Structure 1
Amino acid sequence: MSGALTGVKVLDLTRVLAGPFCTMMLGDLGADVIKVEAPGGSDDTRGWGPPYTGGESAYYLCTNRNKRGITLNLKSEEGRAIVKKMAATSDVLIQNFKVGTMEKWGLGYEDLKKINSGLVYCSISGFGHEGPYQHLPGYDYIVQAMGGMMSITGSEETGPMKVGVAIADLATGMFAAISILAALHERTKSGEGQHVDISLFDSQIAILANVASNYLISGNIPKRYGNQHPNIVPYQVFKAKDGEMVIAVGNDRQFEKLCQLMNREELSKDPRFSTNSSRLENRETIIPILQEELMKKGVKEWQVLLNEAGIPNGPINNMEQIFQDPQVEARQMKITMPHPTAEMVSLVGSPLKLSRTSVEYLRHPPLAGEHTEEVLQEFGFLKEEINQFRKNGII
């Protein structure tokens, strides 16, 4: 069975994380993704190691499967002419150059729309194509700071903290993929493409979700709660006798059950703790009481009891524990692929589970320029032309 996006051709002029994460998802779904780099390979993540395997960094490998790789010198007139020829018959072009760069090269949306009115053209940038910050470079860490994430992450003791992965980049990649799919769907009715403008800054603000909503409704600037929740108690990390775990009590009935497990039924009847609102008001009182009770058993003991009672909980796994978890195996969230220089590479699997058009892992993350000749021939370039491009440093 072909993938859901089989027949969709994507010209991928992105590098680092947000763009490649987006195009990998499209490739996982069956799109033909052509990754374009400068001669020699210009995706910065190729050098973001160790660790390396087969000469490729783990960082690069994590977002570049299911793509074909070509190299083009976009600073040359000939290289830009090749992109135009490819864009003329592509469905999607996605790029994350600094705002204005593609327009300067004659490769902006308005330029390419003239040769392919059905092209869905996605631009990823730090701050978008309008506003006073549009020309500033955008990096995940900076955007986590400017976009509010670091103001709510960490605790009062630690001060501002970033999320442990590049969450603004990853959210941007997902929003870009959703927008591209929406534009492709709309094109089936109108026959027209459009410009999709996605920024890290917008994406970061969007995923503030309930915390931003809390501020907009109340006017109160949120505090850093560390491993606690601003709206629900108890919903945080606790210490058990032999380790730490998260217990997430989502409603008053679950709190009552938790108190029963601890043989502290009186707590759920105490008006200070009987409702979530009252527990929020008395957070500093109830949490130490619960913590003392939880120290009486180990993590696995509590897991069994809490699971039987229907109270959400879980251990705090490290990477080794995650990839030994039977649920990871059952959901195929760890995969291995053959690779020309590393023999086999282990990668995180796709979370996209479709019943009829399932994700397939058909292509290893490409070596720089691995498919240049193959792809250019498909777009109508003759072997003699390709050899001349190579001689002139265009590819």
Structure 2
Amino acid sequence: MIDAATLPLGRIKVLDLTLARSGPTCVRHLGDWGADVLRIEPPGSAAGEITGKQDGFDHQNLHRNKRCMTLDLKTEEGQAIFRRLAADADVVVENMRAPVKYKLKVDYETLSALNPRIVYGSISGFGQDGPYAHRAGLDQIVQGMGGLMSITGLPGQGPVRVGIPIADLTAGNLLALGIMMALYEREATGRGKWVQTSLLEAMIFMLDFQASRWLMAGEVPGQAGNDHPTGIPTGVFPTVDRPITIAASSARHWTRFCEVVGRPEWLQHPEWQTMTGRSKDRAAINEAISSVTATQPSAHWISLLEEAGIPCGPINTVDQVFADPQVQHLRMAQPVTHPRLGEQHIVGTAINMAGVEEGIRLPTPSHGQHTAEVLASLGYDDAAIAGLREKGVV
């Protein structure tokens, strides 16, 4: 097993109060890179409804490299135990609705008074303040409110959600980055910070150039389907066996593309000589390219275009992704042995660091698996722990 002490975050202690996906995504980064993550879950069977099925693929993928204890933060004793844990922690992460943390007395102001070095990370749906602060945020709701659904899908199709919870995942990724910046600053100042993001902010951030089109050029982007919104030709084209994606929008790539597919006359087409002209005439260009690519198998075109330096590739299903030799080389399917579920594979980290061994250190824990261990480390004996269990505190 990989020794956490050898990893970059091996000296960092994290208390994980997160639910659903955005918060656990953030904490997963910290755990993957060596942090001692203690996940706090409410006692009782209701926890399975909150965190997802304990043995399911989603829960197992989200909560690896963590320990887990149960604690009822609605009780005074539970809050007192959490404060003891927080006094020695480096990071607390939560993604509750903005007012809830104050009701539970696990807010930044309360905890930083006990431990000024604490870095407190928060994800909310819409921000910690403002007219929507009280609202619960869900990925699909924010995909709609953040503009993504209006630019996804085929022209005229109507709004379409992205096939992954992109607002949740991006918010989690960004909060992990913010926490790391706060930890780095703490090295100089000795004090922690409250780091915040929201699903809405993350979604707008991910609009990227599409947002800039409006802010700087006054253009409201629409749906472009499989075409790039501004760079043509970039899209999906048929072959004898399966579709492929091709990106030949730059002047250099367009010239090479016309030559290698045997259509040099396209270069003489007056409206196709500039990117602006190609964008205006995209339907005709796509039809012309499709009539050529449909004559040969996908492997033929991928080999030909790759040799000419033109970006292209197959459109894989998820099983084909993990069968791809490059994906296997990158070890994106990480093995882990679960004490109850046996041998499994879960999605590996996408970050690589020279000289640092990668892999899953700890399988996803069972509900409350480490409760007694954590309480014992705080000085509770067996009788005291049994008493806490009897009262439903843990």
Structure 1: runs of 5 or more not aligned? 49-54
Percent identity, aligned pairs only, is 38
Which residue identity does 2:231 align to in structure 1?
A: I
* Structure 1 match to 2:122: 123
In the alignment, structure 1 residue 148 sits paired with structure 2 residue 147: yes
Which residue identity does 1:270 align to in structure 2?
A: H
**Residues 45 and 287 of structure 1, relative CA distance in 2, 3 Å threshold:** farther
**Residues 328 and 44 of structure 1, relative CA distance in 2, 3 Å threshold:** farther
In the alignment, structure 1 residue 260 sits paired with structure 2 residue 264: no
Of 28, 33, 49, the residue aligned with 1:29 is 33
CA distance in 1, matches of 2:156, 2:50: 33
* Structure 2 match to 1:17: 21
Deviation at 1:13, TM superposition (A): 0.3
Residue correspondences, number? 389
SS in 2 for 1:4: coil
SS in 2 for 1:364: coil
Residue correspondence of structure 1 range 40-51 to structure 2 within 5 A: 40=44, 42=47, 44=49, 46-47=51-52
Structure 1 contact 352–359 (Cα < 8 Å) conserved: no
Residue correspondence of structure 1 range 40-79 to structure 2 within 5 A: 40=44, 42=47, 44=49, 46-47=51-52, 56-79=55-78
Deviation at 1:15, TM superposition (A): 1.4
Structure 1 contact 45–59 (Cα < 8 Å) conserved: no
CA distance in 1, matches of 2:66, 2:262: 57
Structure 2 contact 156–223 (Cα < 8 Å) conserved: no
Deviation at 1:43, TM superposition (A): 5.7
Structure 1 contact 37–43 (Cα < 8 Å) conserved: no
CA distance in 1, matches of 2:375, 2:171: 30
Mean Cα displacement is larger for which, 228-237 or 152-161? 152-161
The C-alpha deviation readout for 1:120-163, integer Å capped at 9, x for no partner, is: 01111101112100000000010000011101001224211000
Deviation at 1:387, TM superposition (A): 2.1
The C-alpha deviation readout for 1:87-119, integer Å capped at 9, x for no partner, is: 000000001111111112221111111100010
The C-alpha deviation readout for 1:317-364, integer Å capped at 9, x for no partner, is: 111111111111100100121112211221111111111233331100
* Structure 2 match to 1:162: 161
CA distance in 1, matches of 2:25, 2:222: 31
Structure 2 contact 348–359 (Cα < 8 Å) conserved: no
Mean Cα displacement is larger for which, 340-349 or 66-75? 340-349
* Structure 2 match to 1:51: none
* Structure 1 match to 2:353: 354
Residue correspondence of structure 1 range 162-311 to structure 2 within 5 A: 162-311=161-310
**Residues 124 and 43 of structure 1, relative CA distance in 2, 3 Å threshold:** farther
Q: Which runs of 4+ in 1 moved over 6 A?
A: none
Instruction: Return the TM-score normalized by structure 1.
Output: 0.95
SS in 1 for 2:262: coil
Mean Cα displacement is larger for which, 277-286 or 378-387? 378-387
Instruction: Return the TM-score normalized by structure 2.
Output: 0.96
SS in 2 for 1:81: helix
CA distance in 1, matches of 2:59, 2:12: 24
SS in 2 for 1:323: helix
CA distance in 2, matches of 1:43, 1:185: 35
CA distance in 2, matches of 1:241, 1:31: 50
SS in 2 for 1:135: coil
